[in-house]
Amino acid sequence: MAGGAPRDLGGLYLRLGSQEISLADYTKEASDRWLKVTPQDTWSSTLSRVRIARQEALESTLESIRTSGFPDRGSSFARLLGTCGIENKSDVVLAAIQYMRSVEKEGHTQPRELRRLIEETKRWPKKSVKKWNLSLYISRMLEGGPGGAGPFLEFPRRRPRKNGFVVLTEAGRDHLDKLSLDR
């Protein structure tokens, strides 16, 4: 290798839901294995070593996450829904949007990502959730809530007027708070 060992071979990240975890702590381990390459090694054998080092680092990280009790998003969201008494489909969609914006810090969430989050709760059969018309629920909440409460969702300023960008209005947050108090 000309000029010594490469300083950064690349980044390795683990994506949990919408959370991205840098595996930079394990990059050194992969780099150390890379440095043990001898002139007799072939491209294939060297590639295999790097692949094994990355897999070991990933497995070690996953084990650390499991032992630390990192909550998975499906069970966290399910517990939140259950604790707050949110059961109505449109309320679940509203809560999913707030969860993605507030907990996972997503600024753009396609309806399919909302559907995936709802499916991960395992409170409803996957086939049932696939039939939910999320875009219709979102459109209705953009128009207004029940009883003239005002829209529960709005498009943020300086963002495209697409369903993936909607955020809760004050009325939407109040609605979810009211549901949790009325249970």
Structure confidence at residue 167 (pLDDT) = 92
- Tell me the pLDDT band of 124, cut-offs 50, 70 and 90: very high
Q: Stretch 17-33: mean pLDDT, rounded?
A: 56
Asked whether the predicted pLDDT for residue 13 surpasses 70, the reply is: no
Q: Which residue range forms the structural domain that includes residue 51?
A: 13-68
Expressed in percent and rounded to 5, the helix, strand and coil fractions of the chain are 60, 5, 35
Which letter does DSSP use for residue 2 in this model?
T
How many domains does the structure of the chain reveal?
2
Main-chain phi, psi angles of 168, to 5 degrees = -75, 145
Are residues 62 and 83 located together in one domain of the fold? Answer: no
Are residues 25 and 106 located together in one domain of the fold? Answer: no
- Domain-embedded: residue 163: yes
Are residues 79 and 147 located together in one domain of the fold? Answer: yes
Q: Are 14 and 25 a contacting pair, CB within 8 Å?
A: no
Asked whether the predicted pLDDT for residue 104 surpasses 60, the reply is: yes
- DSSP notation for 11-67: --EEEETTEEEE-HHHHHHHHHHHHT--TT--HHHHHHHHHHHHHHHHHHHHHHHHH
Are residues 134 and 156 located together in one domain of the fold? Answer: yes
Number of H helices, E strands in the chain: 8, 4
The model's pTM is: 0.65
Q: Which of 174, 155, 157, 173 is nearest to 165 (CA)?
A: 155
14 or 45: whose pLDDT is higher? Answer: 45
